[in-house]
Amino acid sequence: MPDTEPQPDPTGRYRIDRQIGAGGMGVVYLAEDTRLHRRVAIKKLRQDVAGSAARRRIRREAQLLASLNHPNIVQLYDVLEEEDGGMALVMEYVEGATLQEWMREQGTAPEDRLSILVQICSALEQAHDLGIVHRDLKPANILINRDGPGLIAKITDFGIAKSWSEHSNLTTAQHTPASWGAVSPEQLQGKPLDHRSDLFALGVLAYGLFCGQNPFGDSDNSFILADRIVRRPHPPASNLNPGLPGELCRLLDRLLAKKPARRPSSAAAVAEELEATDPGAIDRHPPATIASEDFYRRRRTAGKRGIALVSAAALAIAAIAAAFLSGAPPARDARYIAVVPPAAGGPEQSREVRLLTQSVQNAIRQGLSNREGLYLVPQSESRQLHNQSLHRQARAQDAQLLLNPDITCGEKNCELSLELIETESFSTIANRKISLSLDSNLGGFEQTLQQINYLLPQYPPRALSPTLTIGEEDYRRYLELQPRGKTYQNVGETLDALEELQEKAPQFPAIYELYGQLAFDDRFSNRNMDSMDRLEKMLAKAPPEIADTVEILSARLFLFHARYNWEASAEILAKLKSALPDRANYYQAEAIHYHLRGDYERALIASDKALALRTSTNYLLQKALSLSYNGQMEAARPYLQQALEIDDSYIDARSLLAANELDMGRTGETIRLLDTIAPHRLNALDFYNLCMAHYLEKRFPRADRCFTDLYKALPSDVEPLLYRAEIAREQQRPQRARQFSERALELSRQREGWENRLMQALAHAQLGQSERAVASLLKTRQRAPDDTYVNQTLAQIYIATDDLNSAEAHIRRSLELGQSPVWYRTARFAKICSHSAFADLRGEYPTLCTGRGPDGGVARK
């Protein structure tokens, strides 16, 4: 033992044998109690950390241990205090190994694993009853005593434990001493903790025992691990160990729930479920399956393709709302019916005619979605084919029936004609005509609904249509707020108006559904982090009597998907499975659900099932999305091309194709594809991709104009300002560059959310403020996803602050996720081609510094 390390026992009662362990706060010695003739473990506070806070911490550990008396908790025997303020704890010595060491052994019996977990639960139950949360429950802090007839588990190291009522700041959220494997989402976020934080750590322990891996992978990047713990779903235990019973897999999922309220109620409840598990049902030698780290490597979140995903998800949920009926069984010989979009009126069309036309369309959709033997093609598909020939519309939608409405209006009235067409022979099999007054949109709705009944007597309604619980004036306002095209620029104003309308007509469910659709789009298209909070408050206002309506459930599905609350969204999907008559529509909803979760393999399976039942441009887009996010961008191309062959005006398919081309470095093809879309029809991320393509092509004047227009359209997004700063530097205009960076910094400070924190860090880096850039990053790391967009932005920040090792790690990560080297052939990344820190990266990716892009559009650096 070194001479500089004083003996931990000034009393002489304990004879030190040897050092047996060390941690961040103390050194542990094996000793003999000469009075009681037993071996003990003495934990001595380290000399180099013996400050007042550290002494308070070890004294607290002593107090907590003294209050605990349980066979599965290491016992405290004595407290030794020295004249200079030093402290040592004399504790029970456990002969054996840590759980971490024990888990490395091969062939551990399932009954032993279950027994250890039940013992840990028993110890936790006593601690929790006394109001104590361990907060660092990891395998290294569980000792396994192998003496005697059975295995005995004992919890140790209550060094960072706390009473629930304690509010000391000895351990701050910024410097969490708990290991990453044991920390709960709420602990990472600095939220108040209770016993359920330990249950999360128990779930990590149990997952390791039964799956042999940490549920959040083995990355050594704390930013990545924190993001996974707080936001990402873990790989299902059944994926890693198919030999586990379903009940045990579900228990692990509940223990690892992000929200404490969704975890089991107590450690005793967990023990009860574990004791009910049959060890014989657990495979002793589970087959090798995927690694948890591989599961996360395949995950990608919405970046430049995000708008296509948002559109697909929004349209899928809207289609669900149209088809979510009262539990009727699917019809075996049902036929698909599509609605022909009415001819668009010119500028001379009056507001009254436009609103009545919209009301008629709403009535037609509602009337057709509620019919025995009919499946309604989603309105999103029909709308895309506006002004196409009837033959083209029938073929594109794979529909056996078409309903063709025509409205001719005079000064006070409109004549509505409804024509039902059989597409095989293209003959009219029924028609109806009716006169509608321009004075009443509600009257037009009810009359149109009645005509649908007369038109389709062979397809009776499954249930009576609900009464419209809204007045004429408020219904007219609702019609005005329904989107009729690109909405991303005015979403906030529309949400404000819908909130005002809800106050007047709280019983009208359609308000909530429209609100949910727009808020979902605002969250992902505009990066508005507040929209989901607004949606949650809006749904809280819904009267209880409409809580289970289709519209409210659809709005909740928007909320749950945006919040990554997979358990809650899965509950709605379970209802859909029994309620949706159109099985293809259900499979599409399932594909969206799995895609948002990042389980692209299951999303692809669901997409294939939907396409097997009906060829749909939306289903083809979803298939291409899942392939793209799985890194198979070339494999996605045929599905996008097929969708464009069906409908060459299908903007979402063209958008995704352009995004894939950009990620693969074919910038010229991205520009060509997006230039075919009329400027007023470009969505937010199309706009961004077009600007980025010009920037990567080094067409700086064109890129600068593009980013200028983008910022005008989306002033909530400061990233265009940062790119304008980069362009100004490329053009040797440093003062102009500084002005853009300062403006971006000022705006990002006024806004919340990880995206704005990331932009704030990048602005600091551009201004040469390295320490402030890193400080902003520390506030970002717990939230930002592990995708190409975030990794490339982090690489920009680190290379600007001269942290080249971190820059290299994030560049490598983005390239692993499928991003093309072309993204790094700009002035900001010049060091890649000259500095030794990037030598290995240059060797693995030689086109980072040499050659041109596949289409020759990028200059050699």
Q: Count other C-beta atoms under 10 Å from residue 804's C-beta.
A: 16
Angle between helices 510-525 and 550-562 (to 10 degrees): 20
SS3 at position 420: strand
Contact 85/50 with Cβ under 8 angstroms?
A: yes
SS3 at position 328: coil
- Residue 35: exposed, middle, or buried by beta-carbon count in 10 A (0-12, 13-18, 19+)? exposed
Give CA–CA dist 712/760, Å, rounded.
Answer: 19
Annotated binding-site residue? 44:
yes
For the chain, the 3-state helix, strand and coil shares in percent, each to the nearest 5, are: 55, 10, 35
Give CA–CA dist 219/226, Å, rounded.
Answer: 10
SS3 at position 312: helix
Strand pairing class (38-45; 427-437): unpaired
Contact 267/824 with Cβ under 8 angstroms?
A: no
Signed CA dihedral, 630, 634, 638, 641: sign only = positive
Instruction: Give me the DSSP letters along 427-486.
Output: EEEEEEEEEEETT-HHHHHHHHHHHHHHH-TTS-BSSPPPP--S-HHHHHHHHHHS--S-
Choose the catalytic residue: 136, 157, 398, 522. Answer: 136
Instruction: Give me the DSSP letters along 723-759.
Output: HHHHHHHHTT-HHHHHHHHHHHHHHHHT--SHHHHHH
Give CA–CA dist 746/715, Å, rounded.
Answer: 13
Active site residue 136: yes
Strand pairing class (374-376; 335-339): parallel
Angle between helices 651-663 and 306-323 (to 10 degrees): 150
In the block, tokens 């093609």 appear at: 377
SS3 at position 409: strand
The set of residues, in sequence order, having a beta carbon less than 8 Å from that of 442 and lying 6+ positions away, is 359, 468, 470, 472, 475
Longest CA pairwise span in the chain (Å): 108
SS3 at position 226: helix
Please name which of 452, 415, 444, 555 lies closest in space to residue 498, comparing C-alpha atoms: 555
The set of residues, in sequence order, having a beta carbon less than 8 Å from that of 601 and lying 6+ positions away, is 298, 630
Please name which of 382, 306, 321, 329 lies closest in space to residue 616, comparing C-alpha atoms: 382
Q: How far is CA 170 from the centre of its chain?
A: 32
Q: What is the dihedral of CA 321, 326, 620, 398, to 10 degrees?
A: -110
Strand pairing class (401-409; 335-339): parallel
Contact 300/347 with Cβ under 8 angstroms?
A: no
Give CA–CA dist 673/833, Å, rounded.
Answer: 31
Rama region for 131: left / alpha / beta (φ>0; ψ in -120 to 50; rest): left
Binding-site residues for ATP:
44
Residues acting as catalytic residues? 136
